[in-house]
A and B are shown apart, each in its own frame.
Chain A
């Protein structure tokens, strides 16, 4: 058994996370940031502040090195509504694609500690991680395949909700994705949902909170209506920590609030427990 351990450790390793733009000081504690050390700690500051990650970083963190196979990466958004304000939607999307981002959700298969999973990761940098037709299509296709193959589904969410620029068809993605999610649940396939900062609107009101296990990152803002709109609509004073991951734990909406540094090990363990 002496030889088995290093092999298992090798299999459990994700990739080195990509560099991400960072402030000079941590917004959580104000201390100057050591970029390389932060990167090794999955962009979690010693004070507990979790920096937002894009889909590329999440894939590197979750997938065993070399195991990621992206699916449907070539599905593209169209400007269906001839959306012109404040900028033409088509131009916004094309610029983001040029910047190397590929829609608000990327999906594919990989292994985690040697076990196959479907992984879908939202990317908040792409129009606020908004649920679009392409995002919905990638999510639904992955769920359908996970349901038929019995491979567990892992979601990382970070989203402002449905994408306004795709109008009511973006809203319909909530139904499309939840229809597929219902099949995943009916098939008895495990679905682990990781909620990161921020997860709101149509994404919270569709797949993100319907995990068999909902895992939230510390301090992540999670809710349906954003605090600004709630204040505008109801003139309410919202208490500190309103809609935080800890608030959602206290209100029964998530199972666990877990630091990112422990996530990979927890998922690996869950995959063992939910074969």
Chain B
């Protein structure tokens, strides 16, 4: 039972309704949360190689009395912003910037909070030309060596490799009405039926809700959203996210670095250890 008096699993929404909430254009984005968690947030830019990726914001802010590195996929609110932010779809430069800022955080022993909200990495020719696959791969490998605590939160869409490239952490939590999936429902429908309009069926098959992910052991906690979802009350949503992030971070801050990295390794190395827990899975509908 949460302090909002409601269990996340009491949700009566269909899977597709959750997908729509996760993608809702009025849903709070990373900067909406970061500015509430750390009002003195200073955004830092660039990968120091060639560019700055506006689909990923990063920077430092004071959070519960401690300088913290915040990273997050950022979507735009207006059409102009959406284009600028590329709908939260990162290019290779974004992953390189994230790792640069992670090393920056490590230098100063700042803990890292990462917010995930992306349909996926950008599926365009330019991203391919500049090595998107290798950029994600290198980021995923590098996160395991970053010697400071990392807590990641899926706040909206956790889309495939583009999300996981920002999702290697010591703890991963999910907002109640967010999703995390190997492929978008549209992509899955396109693969299965060569017809991306059958996205609703695909979403039901994919098991991508926060409840599914908690049952599979892929995330540690589901953070409840205010009634009607996070878009109804940004402050309440941010406060619940803050409480959970902080609680997880507190537990990590006391761990010796060696233990932290070993546990991070084991967290992902044995993430499918519930493989024999089949009864927990299966369609809910």
Using a CB–CB cutoff of 8 Å, the interface residues on chain A facing chain B are 78, 80-86, 133, 136-137, 140, 161-164, 166-176, 178-183, 185-186, 201-202, 204-210, 222-225, 229-230, 233-234, 236, 238, 242-243, 251-253
Known: A168-B206, A205-B140. 8 other contacts (CB 8 A): A81-B281, A171-B160, A172-B218, A182-B145, A209-B137, A230-B125, A234-B125, A236-B124
Of A133, A164, A223, A242, most B-chain CB atoms within 10 Å: A164
A-B contact count (CB 8 A): 179
| Cα-based distance from A136 to B268 in the complex (angstroms) | 11
Would you call B253 an interface residue if the criterion is a C-beta within 8 Å of the partner chain's C-beta atoms?
no
Closest Cβ neighbor of A251 among chain B residues: B129
In-complex Cβ contact of B121 among A83, A85, A161, A224 (8 A):
A224
Task: Assess whether B216 is in contact with A140, with CB atoms less than 8 Å apart.
Answer: no
Query: Quick check: A169 and B278 within 8 Å, CB to CB?
Result: no
In contact, A224 and B127 (Cβ under 8 angstroms): yes
Closest to B277 in A: A80
Cβ-defined contact, A179 with B134, below 8 A? no
Q: What are some 9 contacts across the A-B interface (CB < 8 A)? A: A82-B283, A83-B205, A168-B180, A172-B268, A172-B271, A176-B271, A209-B137, A253-B131, A253-B133
Contacts of A233 in B (CB 8 A): 123-124
The one of B123, B181, B183, B269 that contacts A180, using a Cβ cutoff of 8 Å:
B269
Chain B contributes a number of interface residues (CB within 8 A of A) equal to 58
Contacting pair B192 A168 (CB below 8 A): no
Residues 130-153 of B, flagged 1 when their CB comes within 8 A of A and 0 if not, give: 111110111011101100000000
Measured between alpha carbons, how far is A162 from B159 in the docked complex, in Å? Answer: 13
- CB-nearest residue of chain B relative to A144? B269
- Which residues on the B side are within 8 Å of A206 (C-beta)? 137, 140
Task: Fill in one digit per residue for B202-231: 1 if any A CB lies within 8 Å of its CB, else 0.
Answer: 100111100011001010000000000000
> B205 contacts A85, CB within 8 Å?
yes
Given contacts A168-B180, A234-B125, whether A251 and B130 have CB atoms under 8 Å apart is yes
Q: Is B44 an interface residue (CB 8 A)?
A: no
- A85-B192, A178-B141, A206-B140 given as contacts; is B123 within 8 A of A225 (CB)? yes
Task: Specify which chain B residues have a CB less than 8 angstroms from the CB of A170 in the assembled complex.
Answer: 182
Q: CA–CA, A83 to B276, complex, Å?
A: 16
- Chain B nearest CB: distance from A254 CB in Å? 10
**In the complex, which residue of chain A has the Cβ closest to the Cβ of B129?**
A251
Contacts of B137 in A (CB 8 A): 174, 178, 204-210
With A140-B269, A167-B208, A204-B133: A225-B128 Cβ-Cβ less than 8 Å: yes
CB of B272 closer than 8 Å to a CB of A: yes
Residue B8 is within 8 A (CB to CB) of chain A in the complex: no
Is B216's CB under 8 angstroms from A164's CB? no
Report A-chain residues with C-beta under 8 Å of the C-beta of B129.
Answer: 251
| Residues of chain A contacted by B281 (CB below 8 angstroms) | 80-82
Asked if B61 is at the interface (CB within 8 A of a chain A CB), the reply is no
Contact A223 B182 (CB under 8 A): no
Chain A residue with the shortest CB-CB distance to B266: A179
How far does the alpha carbon of A69 sit from the alpha carbon of B275 in the complex, in Å? Answer: 26
